[in-house]
Chains A and B, each alone.
Chain A
């Protein structure tokens, strides 16, 4: 098959995803004008570039193509007005994702080719085929045999944060009693002391009755993002939900509101001033540069805003991201491939993420089966890329996915990288403004397109 024997006379195999109204006609024009150009491209026709899901690009590479071209109408000429403008936003971010994973960008090209630009199409194809030829056969989606790349940059090791004062716990209990007693909420989602083997830690809990509110606590072990329960039917059945939320959790709640998964009035946010939580005796990565130690949106505020300690300015993951960016694409591929090969498809990352609420998840759709369910390296790579992509511009960096992964995959690096790119390109940080449109559902005329031919 495609990834097996590479013959000496290897020819690049390239797939082009093009829009029906412009590029397809342009390519056809090239043909009817008898322009000679490289035969290595297979064209797949879409109604609009706006329909081209990066999932298709991933599948193309998964099936062994050496290069992908995506092309459509020039901005302003879209048959559907703005499909290509939305697509452009997607491409800006998706390209960065693939580059970060170690795809040689000589394999991924974007272009505007209009119906009259047959010559441009022919020229483009010739250029791209040569670039892909230079890049060589695409790497197979299997474990690299020459050893995994290691990250030679470290994460900060910062001691544990100060324990939140006990007043926070008593304030939370009071508020919960009041919310439940008046019937304003049907359940309060918070934390309680863990028992058993995890003595000393905290664990999520659900309080229905005011007299049970004394179970609630808040301490530096309250790491879980409880916003995940806001879309859980066993919790929603109680009606309005009161939720104990740190700033990071509130950012997730904002995301759920933005995306119409919950209404603002269906949740009563008990925002907690938080100096950080603890993982294995150290400050959690997500807390090191946290911008929301004082909650930004809440119905009740617990804790003293003046008690927050200064935050580092550089995000703790950025040094490792910069290190990976300094490597060659092949070295980056050799980092990510072994990471994903370890994945056992437990979907803990998905289960714990408040923004992974799709029913069914793309991985569960089977007509067609877009993402192979088997935990082999190809299936795992497809799953993890698609998940990172679906969270681009939405992930608030709560770090839960990375904490819960039983095999320690560096999902945090992927999500942080995309957050950086979205902020850089669109000046957008998720989880602050419930009325803001999500970055990939909108577009601006000045979205940068210097990478589009």
Chain B
């Protein structure tokens, strides 16, 4: 691993250099607010959007409203085109975004979500729609110094300065940045602008990490249920927890790792597309069979799926917890469902069951 240091001024120069070199540079940007004033807390949404200069990056950026995944796995994407020619369907492969991209300032939770999505969309059947974008992407992460009340990355095996998923990780130390160059892709980006970077010397992120974790309100490690879910499956705690869940899709859609999708056709008599759209296991129709049978008929069943998928099943299938502790679901939930509290409550229920 290469270790460098970067002043704030040189950081902006680097970013502007990347833009000038023709790369698409995506960074957190504050959008104008549609007239809602300060109702969104800061006035307008903060989203990952392409920038044309470092000055456009949102000041006081903590976390974006929507996660980075929309740049790898868009909310809607055409996966097949067809036309009817002489009464017969003629299939066409769509074009997929192959723009060389640098994504700036993903928080360690958001960056750690990327390897999680890689394991889903890669694998046996490589999803080229995702992987093309993935291969053309270099991630520059930004460590956290001010965890928010909803954050709990430390409780799920990460930390405010985790390297997972980043090609380069910047950590603010004093008024400079420690630059950890973690991959070849990262090296390429740094080497082109080598004169902006100095050697890190004895600059470390240990203190920053300690202080940030100390500020995190919810850092007590969360249990997982990979070994215990069978006994917990029919426990009444699920209905207690899920009664207030309204079954909307905000948690799944604001989650950096949730990836369930739907495939639908949209067509006229002459041509059509097959689209892949974000979907959510919390929706009542998600598992409804055409026969009318629904394996998850109540919100209790569906909310159980959400929790167990993240904290048990994914762990068994892919070897890692599917929650990165970003807390977006917690702040965006219309009724204040808090997955950190939920997991603790389920764990308590499992203790009472003697599991």
Contact = CB atoms under 8 A, between A and B. Distances in A.
B330 A196 contact: yes
A344 interface: yes
A1 interface: yes
B66 interface: yes
A232 B149 CA distance: 31
* Residue from B75, B262, B283 having most chain A Cβ neighbours under 10 A: B75
A280 B38 contact: yes
Nearest to B265: A369
Interface string B206-219: 00000000000110
Contacts of B150: 197-198
A436 interface: no
A50 to B, nearest CB: 29
Contacts of B40: 280, 408
Given A279-B39, A280-B39, A346-B253, A406 B332 contact: yes
Given A197-B149, A373-B264, A282 B38 contact: yes
Interface in A339-360: 339, 342, 344-348, 350-352, 360
Contacts, number: 158
Interface residues of A, number: 60
Contact of B335 (A151, A154, A204, A320): A204
Contact of B299 (A204, A234, A342): A234
Nearest to A409: B34
A199 B217 CA distance: 11
A372 to B, nearest CB: 6
B35 A151 contact: yes
Interface in B226-274: 239, 242-244, 246-250, 252-254, 262, 264, 266, 268, 270-271
Interface in A217-268: 224, 228-229, 232-235
A234 B248 contact: no
A407 B280 contact: no
Contacts of A322: none
Contacts of B331: 197-198
Given A198-B330, A203-B244, A224 B335 contact: yes
Q: Identify the interface centre among B150, B244, B283, B285: most chain A CB within 10 Å of its CB.
A: B244
Contacts of A66: none
Given A194-B336, A346-B248, A234 B35 contact: no
Contacts of B338: 194-198
Contacts of B249: 344-348
Interface centre among B33, B254, B277 (most CB of A within 10 A): B277
Contacts of B72: none
A151 B298 CA distance: 42
A84 B32 CA distance: 44
Interface in B299-349: 299-300, 327, 330-332, 334-336, 338, 340-341
Interface of B: 32-41, 44-45, 65-66, 75-76, 149-150, 217-218, 239, 242-244, 246-250, 252-254, 262, 264, 266, 268, 270-271, 275, 277-278, 280, 283, 285, 298-300, 327, 330-332, 334-336, 338, 340-341
9 contacts: A150-B32, A151-B35, A196-B340, A204-B335, A206-B244, A348-B249, A404-B332, A406-B65, A410-B36
Interface pairs A-B: 9 shortest CB-CB:
A151-B35, A351-B248, A404-B334, A197-B150, A351-B246, A346-B249, A348-B248, A203-B336, A196-B338
